[in-house]
Amino acid sequence: MKSAKVRVAVNGYGVIGKRVADAVSAQDDMELVGVADVVPDYRIRVAVERGYPVYASLPERSGELQAAGVPVAGTLQDLLAQVDVVVDCAPKRVAAANQAAYQAAGVKPIWQGGEKHELAGYSFVAQVNYEGALNRDSARVVSCNTTALSRISHALHGRGLARRVRAVLMRRATDPWESHRNGMINTATPETKVPSHQGPDAQTVIPGLDITTLAGAGPYNLSHLHFAMIETTRPVDVEELRAILLETPRVALVRAADGLEALNSVMELMRDLRRPRGDMWEVAVWEDALASDGREVYLTFQVHNEAIVIPENVDCIRALSGTEPDAARSIAKTDASLGITRHFLPSSRPPRVTPGQGTPAGSKGAEEPTAPR
């Protein structure tokens, strides 16, 4: 490394990039050297206000930024020359094209879920496979839905309790920033690709996982809603399920009984909690919707697509740079820096603190093949 602190660049200052930049700035073992983008709109102006050095992702468009009064510290190449890790948050098609530039600069890229698994060859969710990413040259932080499915599935699969996962995702139609352009009204759109991509993608994080996902999108932009049915290898009752979730990092229980009855009420709580941008980094699982029939367990949860992958990006930076060999310590450090919790409301029952939490037993049982039925 070029310094005691991991030197980080963020290329692409959009929905994910701007949040990664803020989260990196909040880490005492990282330095945000700069952010790079192309368009001089309100977003990059805020980056300037925050004192983030701004670089031009495309040298030929540097003039646009300057013309708009954005002080340009240099080109992407100049930025890459100063960092150890670059978090690529560029749009889908653009990202892969940056690979050559990163390789030339000898910088380790972290790709987002929009890119293919093969681009990095390693898909990352901190609590599942942090150690495997240690000192790698690159990694891919999977998408919001895949991150949530991986956290929840691993909580059971990692304990050898998940025989088969079935999940239905009702995705948000669009992101708030672009809701005036895209979006839908008074309808819902099913995905005709079955299984939807999230299931296979989760298998790039949890190889032994037997999972199938179906997906659709609804006319809202606040977050995604998941319904998961997890067949267990032995009966798991609601109390055990609840205990497992309380031991799972980045999962928080919410209760309709507390007035948290829908996606909007949970997001309103994030605003009331003074979360930056009203972000929810945790998977919110409805405690009063947890169920078990002895054969499988049922979970209903909310995924804030704009925010859930942010802590994963922070941990991935540590893993690639090798500054923290222990997953649990990196997760704890990231969580403390952002204020990630397992209980949003003090009125909620506190989690049972159990030794070795977040480090579930080996997934022996789950390796058994599922016979065709």
Stretch that binds a copy of itself, among 51-59, 83-91, 107-115, 165-173 (CB under 8 A): 165-173
Question: Of 25, 77, 99, 233, which one interacts with a copy of itself (CB under 8 A)?
Answer: 233
Question: Of 131, 293, 367, 368, which one interacts with a copy of itself (CB under 8 A)?
Answer: 293
**Under rule CB under 8 A, residue 289 binds a copy of itself:** yes
**Under rule CB under 8 A, residue 184 binds a copy of itself:** yes
Q: Is 182 marked as binding a ligand?
A: no
Q: Phi then psi for 61, rounded to 5 degrees?
A: -105, 10
**Under rule CB under 8 A, residue 369 binds a copy of itself:** no
The answer to whether residues 149 and 198 touch, using CB atoms and an 8 Å cutoff, is: yes
**Under rule CB under 8 A, residue 300 binds a copy of itself:** yes
**Under rule CB under 8 A, residue 192 binds a copy of itself:** yes
* HEC per residue, the chain: CCCCCEEEEEECCCCCHHHHHHHHHCCCCEEEEEEEECCCCHHHHHHHHCCCCEEECCHHHHHHHHHCCCCEEEEHHHHHCCCCEEEECCCHHHHHHCHHHHHHHCCEEEECCCCCHHHHCCEECHHHHCHHHCCCCCEEECCHHHHHHHHHHHHHHCCCCEEEEEEEEEEECCCHHHCCCCCCCCCCEECCCCCCCHHHHHHHHCCCCCEEEEEEEECCCCCEEEEEEEEECCCCCHHHHHHHHHCCCCEEEECHHHCCCCHHHHHHHHHHCCCHHHCCCCEEEEHHHCEECCCEEEEEEEECCCCCCHHHHHHHHHHHHCCCCCHHHHHHHHHHHHCCCCCCCCCCCCCCCCCCCCCCCCCCHHHCCCCCC
Question: Of 28, 97, 118, 187, which one interacts with a copy of itself (CB under 8 A)?
Answer: 187
Q: How far apart are CA 213 and CA 198, in angstroms?
A: 6
Interface with a copy of itself: number of residues (CB under 8 A): 51
Least Å distance, CB 168 to a copy of itself, is: 4
Stretch that binds a copy of itself, among 76-84, 140-148, 215-223, 271-279 (CB under 8 A): 215-223
**Under rule CB under 8 A, residue 190 binds a copy of itself:** yes
**Under rule CB under 8 A, residue 341 binds a copy of itself:** no
**Under rule CB under 8 A, residue 177 binds a copy of itself:** no
**Under rule CB under 8 A, residue 298 binds a copy of itself:** yes
**Under rule CB under 8 A, residue 198 binds a copy of itself:** no
Task: Find the binding residues for a copy of itself in span 235-264 (CB under 8 A).
Answer: 235, 256, 261-264
**Under rule CB under 8 A, residue 348 binds a copy of itself:** no
Q: Which is nearer to a copy of itself, 184 or 328 (CB)?
A: 184
**Under rule CB under 8 A, residue 180 binds a copy of itself:** no
**Under rule CB under 8 A, residue 214 binds a copy of itself:** yes
Pairing of strands 108-111, 291-292: unpaired
Stretch that binds a copy of itself, among 30-38, 53-61, 145-153, 219-227 (CB under 8 A): 219-227
Least Å distance, CB 220 to a copy of itself, is: 5
Kindly name the residue from 144, 149, 167, 297 that is annotated as catalytic: 144
Q: Is 37 marked as binding a ligand?
A: yes
Q: How far apart are CA 28 and CA 16, in angstroms?
A: 21
For residue 25 the two structure tokens come to 């700035």
**Is 89 annotated in the active site?**
no
> Taking each helix axis from N to C terminus, what angle separates 144-157 and 238-246, rounded to the nearest 10 degrees?
120
* Cα dihedral 10, 92, 182, 167 sign: negative
Question: Of 288, 332, 348, 357, which one interacts with a copy of itself (CB under 8 A)?
Answer: 288
Least Å distance, CB 266 to a copy of itself, is: 9
Q: Which residues bind a copy of itself (CB under 8 A)?
A: 163, 166, 168, 170, 184-195, 212, 214, 216, 218-222, 225, 227, 229, 231-233, 235, 256, 261-265, 286, 288-291, 293-296, 298, 300, 370, 372-373
**What is the set of active-site residues?**
144
Binding-site residue ranges: 37, 305
